[in-house]
Amino acid sequence: MAIWTQWLDTTLLAPVPHRQVVLTIPKRLRAYCRSRRRLLGEIARVAAPSVTAAIRTLTSERDLAVGIVACLQTHGSRANWHPHLHRLVTDGGFRPDGTFVAWPAHDTARLTEAFRRAVLRWFVRVELFDEDQAAGMRTWPHSGFHVHTAVWVPEDDRAFAMRLARDCARNPVALARLTFDRAAQAVTDRSVKADGPTADTETADPLEFLARVLVHIPDKGHVTTRYVGWYANRPVACGTRRPCRARAAPEAHAGLRSPTARRAPSRRDQLTRPTVSRRPRSRSRPPAPALPPTLPPR
């Protein structure tokens, strides 16, 4: 975690304001994410255009590239099953020439509605819902979808940005908040929140608590932290991302190496990599072996 946050601070995050965006889905959809573990990643993929479109609409800039660091969380404050999305988003976007445009004051109601429609369309597309079920959920007065964008990170407060990033990618439990009573055979988990309905402690059986924690282990190869737009790993995701970032902040990203540039082999590579010598192939075929002489009949 420390190495990851240091990489965010020194390499990835641009020197611009950021904002935390938390997207929550209703309880009816959380059961699907538990049986289909990769479904939350698909929800994160369809939610990214909603955030980008909201920033582009409010700024009237259709070519803005928005930087998003998306973290998939499946747990709440007490290691309970609560799949949701934490995003560290640039508070605006970058033009093709590298100019940063700030995200104006906005209402999250329209963004929440766009997020809800995008997720329900995806559920219909993958045949988890039919059209009638999706239309019925769109009529709910309290949809269960929620988008929170109130946490703002100034440009010069990098320490707060790193704390926020660690909170977005934190583990379901922390050893500092756990106590084990050997006599009573009980585990007490203290909530990470200081106030609210889940700010108290909870005591559970050790096996029950262990089963609750094991649910949050992702499948093999499942990526829980993703980078979108301006922060995408692949330049093909945003064709002008790397040149624009270099122009926008040359002192912060001057040490970045082009992903297509090949690294010169080091002395260690020359010592560890075996040298394979190949003999030139001869175009002429070798003569066929002579047949053994036939024995005279008895």
Task: Report whether pLDDT(64) > 80.
Answer: yes
How many residues are given for the chain?
Answer: 298
| Beta carbons of 57 and 191 less than 8 angstroms apart | no
CB atoms within 10 A of CB 4: 14
For the stretch 36-59, pLDDT in tens is 888 998 999 999 999 999 999 999
| Beta carbons of 110 and 117 less than 8 angstroms apart | no
For the stretch 144-180, pLDDT in tens is 899 999 889 898 888 888 888 888 888 888 888 888 8
Q: What pLDDT band is residue 237 in, cutting at 50, 70 and 90?
A: very low
| Beta carbons of 211 and 173 less than 8 angstroms apart | no
Residue whose C-alpha is closest to residue 147's, from 290, 16, 21, 291: 21
C-alpha dihedral (216, 219, 225, 231), degrees to nearest 10: -160
Tell me the H-state helices in 88-198.
Answer: 108-125, 131-138, 158-168
CB atoms within 10 A of CB 104: 11
Task: Report whether pLDDT(272) > 60.
Answer: no
Task: Report whether pLDDT(262) > 80.
Answer: no
Residue whose C-alpha is closest to residue 87's, from 117, 118, 115: 115
For the stretch 90-133, pLDDT in tens is 999 999 888 999 988 888 888 999 999 999 999 999 889 889 98
Q: What is the pTM of this model?
A: 0.71
227: β partners: 69
Instruction: Indicate the average pLDDT of the chain.
Output: 79
- The per-residue pLDDT for 281 is 57
CB atoms within 10 A of CB 298: 3
204: β partners: 187
Task: Report whether pLDDT(252) > 90.
Answer: no
3-state secondary structure of 293: coil
Per-domain residue ranges of the chain:
2-172+218-253, 173-215
Task: Report whether pLDDT(223) > 80.
Answer: yes
Average pLDDT over residues 60-84: 88
State the amino acid at position 217 in one-letter form. I
Burial 58-84 (b: 16+ CB within 10 A, else e): bbebeebbbbbbbbbbbbbbbbebbbb
Average pLDDT over residues 245-259: 39
- The per-residue pLDDT for 257 is 44
Task: Report whether pLDDT(258) > 50.
Answer: no
**Whole-angstrom distance, CA of residue 164 vs CA of residue 173:** 17
Q: Which residues contact 257 (CB under 8 A, 6 or more apart)?
A: 263
